[in-house]
Structure 1
């Protein structure tokens, strides 16, 4: 791939008139139905994809979307969603992914930080964020923001439903044209293209900003890992994992449902495809389905596994159950993805201490910064390279002009402090040995306890609140919330809920304590939907360690581990 190119360069070039691959299938969307449980709902060739992207960009520009503007984006990665996202980038604007399942407080702070001029939203989200359907969503743990009241212009994907603002533009209409394509800005690789919120406080949301060039560099590395060529098929519901297929001239196959929702149907679609991407928890569910006979023992050519630590036990089982698949562990993060990969055989043969994640990929550079009290040769891993983010939104400034509204040039970061403790083997491979900060990884979500613990601790009747992650065999983590009682019991709780005068050295945990149900009922209002704990426990006290007397998270992790089975789940 040409250095300094824009994410859209290879996609639009392949869709140009006269290109030999212009009629090849770029996107294939599946839906429920048919003898195998799914059928093809829609196919889009490269020429048609390029036309829709350009037409959408021109229509958005005609409606007032200017280079440097930001758009809130809550649309699934189906063909219409892909066209909307890439059309926004073609217009010189920025796609801002905002999780609709976050609390209204977090959603509002993230909107304020991004300062969007446009919201692109699925019609269903408008419908369920208002009226009777809002109450239904709330009863199922989704406290959705009222999208229709956002003081921005609107574009809706899908059929117009009740709740969609009457002046909202239909995504399908944009793709049919209506603007002057000659007025579109040139494709500038350094222009801001994507914002993804990962963590932070309500005062200063932490959001990663990528340029069109850094996105291309990262997606092209994934293309190389997959070893994709024209004619291959990648089956995934992940936007940034489907893009490598488009860069290669292959087909991005979009499943009817993600593996976390229906692993059986997803697994039945993998036979014969070139590649897919799974988080460790999805791998476990897929292997269970294969061993149970619900899914044929025919996997993809390549399966990338990431988003959480990829354990030896998981890869050992995967290579036994689906030996015809090349299993590859991926190490990376939102700030720079991917960083390193490790083949299953290499990881299984590694007999050293720590978690082998492999060689740094081409163009990625890393160094270690010593950390106090750590062994020689171990330090915090710092990373850089062409796929590195431009920076964090709060560093670049909430005004888009600080990130290049005028000339498209974002102020690039030069390194990223990963927070991971690592060492290098003599042959240059990276081995992770721990973390410098508290973070829980569940599925594809990074959960920062410090963001949510104060909110839980502020609930009536709660003294202290600590979130810990209990590692599982597949590398995923079960999220456990431990609470203690305050000195004043809330209504309905007896005085026995208060902490004992003499605090024992052994932590006593209780899943049936009255405070547990009270806290669990209040959690959707104070914790991000994706960060809701799997298990809630009451503790006699929170153990502390060190001179600072901070919560001993390691001790709590050990103490709560027996509760992370089915009996302990909330």
Structure 2
């Protein structure tokens, strides 16, 4: 192998045995947890490159110094749409240590979506894959962005070329605990995406909680097979490894066979339910393959009970399911240590230490008793600072007494385990990615010959849920499924594109004129049944 070049509302105290560092910058806290020997391996890639802890420190310092040379304003937004690479991780760390705001974007987003994000975030810097430079630079420069760099998964690009001339020494900027570190765009049920603003304090409090609750140790080895443009792969997984000084085995994308090959050298794996379904399809997933593993964690979408049980039977390991969202990082978790209780399939566990979770009656706002379904509301140091440039929307999403309304619906059992039973905002989670029907409906309704549409999620054995559209053509117009799907693929991310499009003369409505999506889901619920 070659070395890589340097470049139930249950309040409690926040991890009493884990003191908060005096320095509020998230990078400074992560850096303080690096092992004493910085020449040990921090990240090993699937193609044999090895990055030392010293490489992460020096590489992020050089990129931070590049930002300093650009004379960016404090808290400048750095918008990133690149392929997964360790250098992209260094870019994230550099943004933190330089006191700027990281704005990661899904690599599947298309030009219409990117135009909105650039216009809304108003980034000072955009970093994109080289193959997209021509299109993205036009969008960025026309909207006032001063600098556009490229970064490729093969460690090439103008960002690294410019950074290579910078010093590898950098003094970490000291932002206040309430200063922004990240803006995560999460779609709304009406209109365009919203930017959830997360502070250094939000993320550090949650990272420290998870380090203690999931019992991270320096000798842990994480198989990192998730994307790094959303909260699961970028924050939950990476922060856990960095904050415990643990090595990562870095896969560019999920490949079930490659994951199984690496299991004997690892102790921790995180994935969305779809990944566990695909692992179970591999004959190589056995008790013996998992002999060194300590923890399998699932999140970002509901884990089916049959998947939970099949995985336990095949491997001898019980998956730990947890619950979180872009606006809050992690909220609840099934226990990690046996002393904290059992892991219950079909639930997302109990509220994490320091996090308050309540289920309330939609009509009265009063807390629901055990086993009664209501809206899930949360409060704690992990809850975001609000939506970027949407103060009215921010106010709408919080109760008068300061609880964030998640939009999810669930129930606590008598022992305080939370079960998610639905989503009041009609969110569809397909393969771990959030799809909001209103956004897809907007693109469908713009198409010639479309009178109206309704987008729903239906059960899917691989993706958990699949996006399905029901379209009403205008009178006298004949529409075809294939061309509509093809047109959408050119405009929106692939995971948002309906897998099937059906046509009907009208949509079912109630007495108030609201589309009855429950009826549509019922009609199509067995569409993908095996």
- TM-score normalised over the length of structure 2: 0.82
Distance 2:206 2:414 in 1: 26
CA RMSD of aligned residues (A): 3.3
Residue matched to 1:10? 29
CA spacing shift, 1:193–1:254, aligned 2, 3 Å = same
CA spacing shift, 1:247–1:145, aligned 2, 3 Å = farther
1:102 and 1:530 in contact (8 A); partners too: no
| Aligned partner (choices 53, 70, 78) of residue 60 of structure 2 | 53
Deviation at 1:285? 0.6
Matches within 5 A, 1:178-257: 178=167, 181-182=170-171, 185-200=173-188, 205-236=193-224, 237=226, 238-240=233-235, 241-255=237-251, 257=252
2:431 and 2:463 in contact (8 A); partners too: no
Residue matched to 1:82? 89
How many residues align? The count is 487
Which range is displaced more, 268-277 or 523-532? Answer: 523-532
Distance 2:19 2:402 in 1: 21
Residue by residue, what CA displacement relative to the aligned partner does 1:208-239 show, whole Å, maximum 9, x if unpaired? 11111211222333333442211221111322
Q: Secondary structure of 1:356's match?
A: coil
Deviation at 1:195? 0.8
Residue 312, structure 1, aligned to residue 305, structure 2: yes
Distance 2:496 2:522 in 1: 21
Distance 1:48 1:100 in 2: 25
| Aligned partner (choices 252, 259, 262) of residue 266 of structure 1 | 259
Residue by residue, what CA displacement relative to the aligned partner does 1:231-261 show, whole Å, maximum 9, x if unpaired? 2211113222122101001012211x322xx
1:14 and 1:46 in contact (8 A); partners too: no
| Aligned partner (choices 427, 442, 445) of residue 457 of structure 1 | 445
Q: Secondary structure of 1:289's match?
A: coil
Q: Secondary structure of 1:542's match?
A: coil
Distance 2:494 2:449 in 1: 22
Residue matched to 1:444? 432
Q: Which has the larger Rg?
A: 1
Residue matched to 1:339? 331
Q: Give ranges in structure 2 of 5+ residues lacking alignment.
A: 1-17, 227-232, 394-400
Residue matched to 1:97? 104
Residue matched to 2:11? none
CA spacing shift, 1:339–1:373, aligned 2, 3 Å = same
Distance 1:245 1:307 in 2: 19
Residue 425, structure 1, aligned to residue 413, structure 2: yes
2:459 and 2:528 in contact (8 A); partners too: no
Deviation at 1:95? 0.7
| Aligned partner (choices 371, 383, 386) of residue 388 of structure 1 | 383
Q: Give ranges in structure 1 of 5+ residues lacking alignment.
A: 32-39, 131-143, 399-412, 494-513
Deviation at 1:185? 2.7
Distance 1:217 1:297 in 2: 31
Deviation at 1:89? 1.4
1:107 and 1:145 in contact (8 A); partners too: no
Residue matched to 2:397? none
Residue matched to 1:35? none
- TM-score normalised over the length of structure 1: 0.77
Distance 2:274 2:263 in 1: 17
Residue matched to 2:398? none
